[in-house]
Amino acid sequence: MVTTVTSFGRNGLSDWLIQRVSGVVLLAYTLFILWTVATGVDYASWKALFDQTWLKVFSLMALLSLVAHAWIGMWAVLTDYLTERLMGTTGNVLRLILQLLIALVLFVYMVWGVQILWGY
Amino acid sequence: MSEKRPVNLDIGSIRLPITAWVSIAHRASGVFLFVATAFLVWALDASLRSAESFAALQQLLTGPVAKVVLWAISAGLIYHSLAGVRHLVMDFGIAESMPGGVLSARIVIGLTVVLTLLAGWWIW
């Protein structure tokens, strides 16, 4: 049986709500970036856009949403397929290792993103 | 943790309805996007680092391999977004019935095909 200790909010309802809110933020950000790219950008206008505080805030919001959204989503997938019921003890070990790897990757995305937003 | 919690059905033994395929594809596209994010963050990095790296990225994205990658990521984003909106709609109590779920699943697949073709047309 899968335990909830590794879920994002330690609680299914809180995970559900965070998943929805972060999903809406990510959709809004994706549409905004797509719209910006589709209307045509050169380096100067693109850089000027990302120099503005409101877009740094929006980007950071999207980045945090991505981390939470991906964690909850990957948790749901892993706890459904890599389980003790399906794979025995191996499932538990494999799931925990993958969850730690996912956490590491998401942490890298986070720090890298902050570096991009405030570093250049 | 109680050992009496309900266990999911063995999905391997069930012929899956369209709603199940849409759900599985939503998960698969989510896992794909988790990986694809590495490319997207890298591209954002190159686009903002300097005028030279911006130009190099622009040049790279005109290549055939990069275009296929972009199209695949677009398809993943389009499908995952539409299926996600379907979930949001259902959370508001709309189309929760079996016929409603089947209909929204078909709409999601149909819209994904149309928008993915449009994305391909835009990329090439």
pLDDT tens digit sequence for B18-62:
999 999 999 999 999 999 999 999 999 999 999 999 999 999 999
**Cβ–Cβ gap B54/A46 under 8 Å:** yes
Task: Report the residue from B30, B47, B54 with minimal CB separation from A73.
Answer: B30
One-letter identity of residue B93: G
Minimal CA separation from B63 to chain A, in Å? 18
User: Is residue B4 scored above 80 in pLDDT?
Assistant: no
User: Is residue B1 scored above 60 in pLDDT?
Assistant: no
Which of A22-26, A64-68, B10-14 has the least mean pLDDT? B10-14
Give this complex's ipTM.
Answer: 0.93
Tell me the whole-structure pTM to 2 decimals: 0.91
Tell me, yes or no, if B68 comes closer than 8 A to chain A by beta carbon. Answer: no
Tell me, yes or no, if B77 comes closer than 8 A to chain A by beta carbon. Answer: yes
**Cβ–Cβ gap B48/A46 under 8 Å:** yes
Angle between helices B64-91 and B18-49 in degrees, nearest 10: 130
User: Is residue A16 scored above 60 in pLDDT?
Assistant: yes
Domain B17-123 fold: 3 helical TM bundles of succinate and fumarate reductases (1.20.1300)
- For chain B, the residue count is 124
> How far is residue B80's CA from residue B84's CA, in Å, rounded to a whole number?
6
**Cβ–Cβ gap A3/B37 under 8 Å:** no
- What are the structural domains, with CATH classification, of chain A? 12-118 (1.20.1300.10)
- Is the Cα torsion angle B90, A16, A57, B58 positive or negative in sign? negative
Give the residue extent of every domain in chain B: 17-123
pLDDT tens digit sequence for A33-54:
999 999 989 999 999 999 999 9
Beta strands in B1-124 (DSSP E): none
C-alpha distances out from residue B114 to A32, B16, B62, B75, B82, Å? 20, 24, 23, 10, 12
Residues of B in contact with A38 (CB under 8 A): 122
| Closest chain A residue to B24, measured at CA | A77
| Closest chain B residue to A33, measured at CA | B44
